[in-house]
A = this chain, B = another copy of it.
């Protein structure tokens, strides 16, 4: 059984890819196999991060590999003897991590002088409001906040320039103040913050008053155009919008409204990676705004406790051009957040008996955890693997 030919190995990979309808095909399964080979024993989250594939997909592929005896049942999992033999036959055995070990492949490393800033931000976060998941909020870690400030320094915006934060549940405004305080250098000439949440704005105001930080706070629904006093004022902008094409267009339009006119203004755009088709839509929106990509760092943003995106997102460095203009001049009325766009139920298949069940708001099981706890209503078994979203 181990003497499989390369062709039957590839057929096996293609079979697994087909079983979970994996867009990335057999190369995606290969990448997951390789990641298990290199990182084992590895939690699903680590495999997702290494391969760039979404967590539920990695989980589903893992289940397929387990059902074929290639991956062990223990968690975190490692390849079985058969799995290792397959990895050897596929030539994915190389034990070499090309990511820079210092920065983890993130380009920017936090210098030790800023460890204190990370610590202080952690304490400030603990006192702040929680994330509102209905607004697609998931809070970035203290390290990510400091790295975002370093990215503004690297772009030449800080020290000395002005920054508009379009939405700031991530408290980047506070991070600019804390990093400046630790370095003993006032970093920004002006920090503008536009957010809908008075809880967040109050928290920023309280924290900023203890630092030497000039923040300009505006409670505002970003569906509405930027208030006149903030338009055309800033050297640079930053946003971590709702992770939809519509969220991208709207939030980046508001950023553009806030920037001083002219080309080559910096925008730092954070986003949770999606599948290739959704990314195509998002990138069409960015180009439609007349913005060019100047850099893009995968896994730059780490978020606390956001499962579906494997807790990371990229940072895209954008520049304005002569043709940059807001695409949403008036009030925006359409869908915006993931929950508004997305069907609320997904079909799950019992791996034991192949029966399929819808899971999610309005279905018999609210989450796959509920379904797992109850067991398959047909055969009493499981586990379950995610299929397509249910059309509404």
Contacts and interface: CB of A to CB of B under 8 A. Distances in A.
Q: Which bracket fits the contact residues of A?
A: 35 or more
A183 B101 CA distance: 19
Interface in A121-159: 150-151, 153-154, 156-159
A15 B99 CA distance: 43
A224 B206 CA distance: 65
Interface string A99-113: 111110111110101
A41 to B, nearest CB: 20
Contacts of A277: 263, 321-322
A30 interface: yes
Contacts of A102: 100-103, 109
A102 B108 CA distance: 10
Interface in A246-280: 262-265, 276-277, 279-280
A31 B319 CA distance: 15
B52 A294 contact: yes
A327 interface: no
A23 B264 contact: yes
Interface stretch (A214-222, A285-293, A332-340, A347-355): A285-293
A94 B276 contact: no
A143 to B, nearest CB: 13
Nearest to A87: B160
Given A102-B100, A264-B27, A156 B235 contact: no
A185 B91 contact: yes
B108 A107 contact: no
A284 interface: yes
Contacts of A158: 94
13 contacts: A23-B264, A27-B264, A28-B264, A30-B161, A98-B150, A105-B107, A105-B108, A263-B277, A276-B319, A279-B294, A280-B323, A293-B293, A296-B296
Interface of A: 23-25, 27-28, 30-31, 34, 51-52, 90-94, 96, 98-103, 105-109, 111, 113, 150-151, 153-154, 156-161, 183, 185-187, 189, 235, 262-265, 276-277, 279-280, 283-284, 287, 290, 292-298, 314, 319-323
Given A27-B264, A276-B322, 12 more contacts: A23-B263, A25-B263, A27-B265, A30-B156, A51-B156, A100-B100, A107-B107, A264-B276, A277-B321, A279-B294, A279-B319, A294-B298
